[in-house]
Amino acid sequence: MCQSCTNTLLDNLIRHGHLIEMGVDGLYGRSGQFEDVVSRFDDLITRWGGGDGPEVMRFPPAMNRVHFEKSGYLKGFPHLAGTVHSFAGNERDHAELLDNVANGKDWTGWQKPTDVVLTPAACYVLYPVVAKRGALSEKGGLFDLQSYCFRHEPSKEPTRMQLFRMREYVRFGTPAQGTDFRALWLERGQKMMAELGVPIDVDVANDPFFGRAGRMLANNQRDQQLKFELLIPINDGAGPTACLSFNYHQDHFGSTWGIRTPDGEIAHTACVGFGMERVALALFKHHGMDPEKWPKAVRKALWG
Ligand code: AMP
Ligand code: ZN
């Protein structure tokens, strides 16, 4: 590692140009090398999961506001949601708006919600799409997604970004199809990450539900072991960071969206999520700021 690598991980990433400051915590540009690592990791995921024959779909990083409202995201995570607003005034309002901007006053009063909100997790966009197709087949459904996601959680920790990419495989079907899928990926995810030569640990987890009612939801999620995370130590002086998550939603999304199995039962769903930036950051943290100097085995896993 080079001489200047004495500050925090964030400082080092910025100094080496891998993250480019934009003046807001958690909002960064990425270097070409950083992006190359992200795409090689994307390919590694496909090597491990593509053989299952998922249907590949890609969506822009925003979703239908009505679908978002119906998804229930606001019940659990109102504090993380990002909505898109746009100017909806007349010419006089416009003049006042410009005046307020020029004088450093609030100008957002004329902003009105649009039909889109920012995608909070890659799979949220998918459920209404699958619901619209009608009942599942005997094989259920398996989808491959990747999207930029927004969460309003500004932080100095480079692993906690406001806009980051999440790759996901999402499974639809019977309870057994859901739990088998998650068990498969809990195993597979660890083998896949072992190729990257970073320290890993797997533990039961919960989502950061809002408020007092949220604490109950979080406890329930842990008690029922609905969420597991693959953790890697990345940030200086902090606990390890969740880089992959393995979620079993039971019939939560199936009943919200009316998705059914061929027997007419409510479909169960599960997903595995890969934090693309977090895994790239784990690699820079453990193998250094120059990917060309990373261990041979790690380079082989990523670049072949
Ligand atoms: P979650 O839906 O919270 O389980 O997130 C899925 C995956 O996205 C996690 O396992 C992380 O790797 C990644 N992730 C979640 N939040 C962030 C964030 N604020 N910044 C970067 N990556 C994140
Ligand atoms: Zn998901």
In this structure, what CATH number is given to the domain that contains residue 222? 3.30.930.10
Q: Are residues 9 and 103 located together in one domain of the fold?
A: no
Q: Are residues 88 and 194 located together in one domain of the fold?
A: no
Q: Are residues 139 and 9 located together in one domain of the fold?
A: yes
Q: Is the pLDDT of residue 199 over 60?
A: yes
At 80 the pLDDT is 98
Q: Are residues 101 and 190 located together in one domain of the fold?
A: no
Q: In a mutational test of the pocket of ligand 1, which residue from 30, 148, 149, 217 has the highest number of ligand atoms less than 8 Å from its CB?
A: 149
The ligand placed nearest to the CA atom of residue 123 is 2
Q: pLDDT tens digits, residue range 31-42? A: 999 999 999 999
At 237 the pLDDT is 85
End position of a domain, from candidates 66, 94, 117? 117
Q: Which residues surround ligand 2, an ion (CB under 5 A)?
A: 123, 168, 271
Give this prediction's pTM: 0.96
* Least trusted range by pLDDT, from 4-18, 89-103, 208-222: 4-18
* Residue 70 confidence class, pLDDT cut points 50, 70, 90: very high
The ligand placed nearest to the CA atom of residue 244 is 1
Q: Are residues 212 and 93 located together in one domain of the fold?
A: no
Distance of CA 262 to the CA centre of its chain: 30
Q: Is the pLDDT of residue 5 over 70?
A: no
Q: pLDDT tens digits, residue range 269-284? A: 999 999 999 999 999 9
Q: Are residues 183 and 70 located together in one domain of the fold?
A: yes
Cα separation, 209 vs 270, whole angstroms = 19
Q: Are residues 103 and 229 located together in one domain of the fold?
A: no
At 273 the pLDDT is 98
Domain of 108 in residue numbering reads as: 84-117
End position of a domain, from candidates 117, 141, 172? 117
Whether the CB-CB separation of 180 and 49 falls below 8 Å is answered with no
Sheet architecture: strand order including 241-250: 55-58, 141-150, 163-173, 268-275, 241-250, 227-232, 201-204
Residue whose C-alpha is closest to residue 56's, from 65, 67, 40, 45: 45
- Residue 142, helix vs strand vs coil: strand
Residue 61 identity: P
State mean pLDDT over 166-194. 98
User: Residue 227's beta-bridge partner residues?
Assistant: 247
Extract the tokens encoding 12.
């080092």
DSSP secondary structure letters along 89-123 = --HHHHHHHHHHHHTT---GGGEEEEEEEE-SSGG
Q: Is the pLDDT of residue 4 over 80?
A: no
Residue whose C-alpha is closest to residue 164's, from 241, 55, 246, 78: 241
Helices 32-49 and 276-287: angle between axes, nearest 10 degrees: 110
Q: Are residues 47 and 106 located together in one domain of the fold?
A: no
End position of a domain, from candidates 58, 92, 117? 117
Q: In a mutational test of the pocket of ligand 1, which residue from 45, 278, 284 has the highest number of ligand atoms less than 8 Å from its CB?
A: 278
Q: Is the pLDDT of residue 147 over 60?
A: yes
Residue whose C-alpha is closest to residue 171's, from 146, 145, 143, 147: 143
Whether the CB-CB separation of 84 and 117 falls below 8 Å is answered with yes
Query: Closest residue (by CA) to atom 4 of ligand 1?
Result: 245
Q: Are residues 185 and 103 located together in one domain of the fold?
A: no
Q: Are residues 71 and 130 located together in one domain of the fold?
A: yes
Cα separation, 37 vs 291, whole angstroms = 8
Q: Are residues 72 and 190 located together in one domain of the fold?
A: yes
% of the chain residues with pLDDT over 70: 98
Domain count, the chain: 2
Atom of ligand 1 nearest to the CA of 168: 6
Q: Are residues 215 and 97 located together in one domain of the fold?
A: no
Measure 61 CA to ligand 1 centroid, in angstroms: 15
